[in-house]
Structure 1
Amino acid sequence: MPSAPARDHRIDVVRGLALVMIFINHVPGTLFERLTSRNFGFSDAAEAFVLLAGVSAALAYGRRFSAPPWWPGVSKVWSRAWTLYLVHLLISMVALAIVASMARWSGSAQMMLQDNFRPLYQDPLGVYIGLPTMLHQFGYVNILPLYVLFLLAAPAALWLGLRRPMWVLALSVGLWVLAGVTRVNLLTYPGMNGWFLNPLAWQLLFMLGLLIGLRLKDGARLVPVHPVLVALAAVYVVMALLWVKVPAVREFLNTGMVWLSRQGAPRLITHFDKGHLEVPRLLHVLALAYLISVWPWFRARAGGVAFWALAVMGRQALAVFALGTILSFVARALRELWTLGGNTPSFAIDAAIILGGILLQLAFAALKDRLKPRPSPRDARQPVPLMAAEAPEKAAVNSPAAPPLPRSVADRP
């Protein structure tokens, strides 16, 4: 069995960058929001983080399924899933406390009327049932339930991925197509609406990451480095940038998508719905991931001082995601209190809120990183699958007769 490869710091850095963008996007209305990745292409930090979650799961747990006994590996993965479930409940209750406090003491119920908190007025008993069963998820707090489900399925996927990786890929793609074409989804309660991020579709990104991680564990690649693939990925990323940023290009290409839709092309191809991970978004995150993976400059410098802040946040991703989600609710409450006082949000206030929140997350990550036990070189392994992702933004809902909107504003929370 080959020895474990050295830690890939690129995973930590990209995950840390995604955490920063997640926090910024979860405080909507600031100028900083215009700088995040969703403004420059079809996908955003959510897709990147789920892909990296699969990679990390394979790097952390893959070898436990290479030979029996199987139960130690299963119990390790499911123990992680249990931890994520408990963190999800904690975040949900703290978010609820912040929103309820605003409703009680600020004189404004605005936060209670959005992000799926309104059912607390309409059916509180249903919400009390839905929260612990993960069937009711508040806005910005709905990524961890997705990941819990993926980790519950991960032992079987890892076992099969080590033996028949193409079977895993075929089954995953088939489920993604089924979900995209039929719009089948897991139900929610109360309110039978379906999960915001459809697990039946988003599992494809996790499984692709898992297959990538299994290959990385052996020092290989799932997709080879080839000039043609690099060129195609770069062209797609540039095309997405022009589509989003240049009105004339957007109008022309949207018209083409509408034409395809009228010719019978499935919505999975012609739209940009985040919830169902439709083709333009999927290809965009895969193209970005491929370009980053073949970028020698980034590989050589990802472990350096210049990227230390992002790397340490990426290494402590679950803790940072939890704190960042809570701080995003605090930040939104502070901005609302500021406006209730008759003030207009200013760049200085937004900068203090956003930069202060990021610094708190960085300090927390650095402290946890410093205090955690250090493994011996012989036992060093790749990072465990810490989780965060961009939680709930309202995906664009485009009718087949209307031009799709592959823009950040279509994904505004």
Structure 2
Amino acid sequence: MTMLSDAAVLSGTASRVKRPRDPRLDVFRGIGMLIILLAHIPNDHWALWIPARFGFSDATEMFVFLSGMASAIAFGRLFDREGIILLTGRILQRIWQIYWSHLCVFLVIATLMSMAGTRPDGVSYVDSLNLVRFFTDPAPLLLGLMTLTYVPNYFDILPMYMVILALLPIMLLVERMHRVLPLLLMAGLWVLAQISLLNLPAEPWSDRPWFFNPFGWQLLFFLGFFLMRGTIQAPPARRSLKTIAALILIASIPFAWYRILEASPFFRDAAHALLPLTDKSTFGLLRLVHFLALAYLAFHAVGEGGRRLVHPRIIPVTRILMKVGQQSLAVFVTGMVVAQIIGIWLDRAGHTPAATALANLAGFSVLIATAYLVAWFKVAPWKA
């Protein structure tokens, strides 16, 4: 996995000077937001061509890893300047924002599903998101929703992110003791998640855990965090490493692409045997390997410092993607709602190529508009 050759320069420092944003972080986060929208739209044909269909990792890895890198810039520098108290306060504030975003998204989508009625195949939209119990007996589940002990599968990414953020002050404190200690803690938590010894309950009536185990996924977040911070050194740009990374990506295709799996019992059985290593809930090892190979090639493909992203011919697209990536929380929660609206509309209009293209492009437009609107609100022009 390679990142910035100047990762140490971009890591936490004592300087209060605001450095320019790295275009690679925001552009790739923006791309990730658009892919996540497609992945969330029910029965969207375009989702058959997202990277997740050709390998073990998907846009979730991109989102988590780049969030870790961005957090190193924001929170790591604050820790270096002001110490653990102010850092913890800032993180609690961020968790508070994400918590209320999570609750609002759940209530909006639950309301939307109840109003939508029944799909053409006779299944209710409430049942399609496994929300029947919530509408049947809401009182105890409202308490579970508020305490994060009731986390339906569609609504589990933000709770995972909250837990990972809560671990951040601990990781920085142990890093101050020794730079190797956070790496050992990350690995230890990940191993406990792999053997099902560490997880959180997702519903009060069963033993089902959170779909996204935060103690497994923290490994990827903090790899990005400490790479950007300079605690972990990025591997150099070598042809041999690029070749290995490319071979990893190519070798994973037969175990992930649905056309090969449908046509070949051998690869279908092999993919089933690899499930413990490709498990999304606990963030299996092969997901990590696949993502690191993909990220290594992607960051080299855009050139040192992302210079190819600022080419005059593509800079308008780059600017749009950067804006989307900079407002990732607002764009993400909007995308979760918009994805369900698009799914409902496609059920009515038909999943034709033209309708699907129109719906997806409209969804992209909404996310882009959301990013620009939120950025405008943050500037607070009425104060000028």
Residues 5-404 of structure 1 mapped to structure 2, 5 A cutoff:
6-66=20-80, 69-103=83-117, 110-182=124-196, 184-191=198-205, 192-215=207-230, 221-245=233-257, 247=260, 268-269=276-277, 272-297=278-303, 299-303=306-310, 304-338=315-349, 344-373=350-379
Residue 305 to residue 113, structure 1, CA distance change in 2 (3 Å)? same
**C-alpha distance in 1 between matches for 2:201 and 2:22:** 37
Unaligned segments of structure 1, at least 5 residues: 339-343, 375-413
With the length of structure 2 as denominator, give the TM-score of the two structures: 0.84
**C-alpha distance in 2 between matches for 1:78 and 1:14:** 26
**C-alpha distance in 1 between matches for 2:251 and 2:213:** 27
Is the partner of 2:351 in helix, strand or coil? coil
> Can you list the C-alpha shifts for 1:28-79, whole angstroms capped at 9, x where unaligned?
2122112211112111101111111111111111022226542112111211
State the one-letter code of the partner of 1:6.
P
Is the partner of 2:152 in helix, strand or coil? coil
> Can you list the C-alpha shifts for 1:60-116, whole angstroms capped at 9, x where unaligned?
110222265421121112111110111111101101110111239999652111223
**C-alpha distance in 1 between matches for 2:37 and 2:118:** 25
Residue 109 to residue 121, structure 1, CA distance change in 2 (3 Å)? farther
> Can you list the C-alpha shifts for 1:351-388, whole angstroms capped at 9, x where unaligned?
222111110111121233345339xxxxxxxxxxxxxx
Is the partner of 2:149 in helix, strand or coil? coil
**C-alpha distance in 2 between matches for 1:257 and 1:319:** 36
Q: Is the 8 A contact 1:100 1:112 kept in 2?
A: yes
**C-alpha distance in 2 between matches for 1:46 and 1:5:** 27
State the one-letter code of the partner of 2:309.
A
Q: Is the 8 A contact 2:79 2:86 kept in 1?
A: no
**C-alpha distance in 2 between matches for 1:47 and 1:61:** 20
**C-alpha distance in 2 between matches for 1:187 and 1:232:** 39
Residue 196 to residue 256, structure 1, CA distance change in 2 (3 Å)? closer
Unaligned segments of structure 2, at least 5 residues: 1-12
Deviates more, 1:347-356 or 1:97-106: 97-106
Residue 166 to residue 80, structure 1, CA distance change in 2 (3 Å)? same
**C-alpha distance in 1 between matches for 2:224 and 2:58:** 16
How much does 1:16 deviate? 0.8
> Can you list the C-alpha shifts for 1:260-316, whole angstroms capped at 9, x where unaligned?
x6xxxx9744xx211111111111111112222333537112243332221111011
| Identity across the alignment (%) | 28
Residue 367 to residue 234, structure 1, CA distance change in 2 (3 Å)? same
Is the partner of 2:180 in helix, strand or coil? helix
**C-alpha distance in 2 between matches for 1:324 and 1:290:** 27
Residue 252 to residue 166, structure 1, CA distance change in 2 (3 Å)? farther
Q: Is the 8 A contact 1:136 1:190 kept in 2?
A: yes
Residue 185 to residue 99, structure 1, CA distance change in 2 (3 Å)? same
Q: Is the 8 A contact 2:213 2:281 kept in 1?
A: yes
**C-alpha distance in 1 between matches for 2:204 and 2:369:** 38
Q: Is the 8 A contact 2:255 2:271 kept in 1?
A: no
Residue 255 to residue 337, structure 1, CA distance change in 2 (3 Å)? closer
Deviates more, 1:232-241 or 1:77-86: 232-241
How much does 1:324 deviate? 0.9
**C-alpha distance in 2 between matches for 1:20 and 1:285:** 18
Residue 351 to residue 165, structure 1, CA distance change in 2 (3 Å)? same
Residue 165 to residue 116, structure 1, CA distance change in 2 (3 Å)? farther
State the one-letter code of the partner of 1:326.
V
Is the partner of 2:147 in helix, strand or coil? coil
State the one-letter code of the partner of 1:301.
R
**C-alpha distance in 2 between matches for 1:105 and 1:237:** 37
State the one-letter code of the partner of 2:308.
R
**C-alpha distance in 1 between matches for 2:33 and 2:90:** 25
Q: Is the 8 A contact 1:158 1:210 kept in 2?
A: no
How much does 1:211 deviate? 0.8
Q: Is the 8 A contact 1:243 1:253 kept in 2?
A: yes
Q: Is the 8 A contact 1:55 1:212 kept in 2?
A: yes
Q: How many residues align?
A: 358
Residue 335 to residue 139, structure 1, CA distance change in 2 (3 Å)? farther
Is the partner of 2:371 in helix, strand or coil? helix
Higher helix share: 2
Is the partner of 2:303 in helix, strand or coil? helix
Residue 251 to residue 162, structure 1, CA distance change in 2 (3 Å)? farther
Q: Is the 8 A contact 1:58 1:210 kept in 2?
A: yes
**C-alpha distance in 1 between matches for 2:110 and 2:63:** 25
**C-alpha distance in 1 between matches for 2:255 and 2:123:** 38
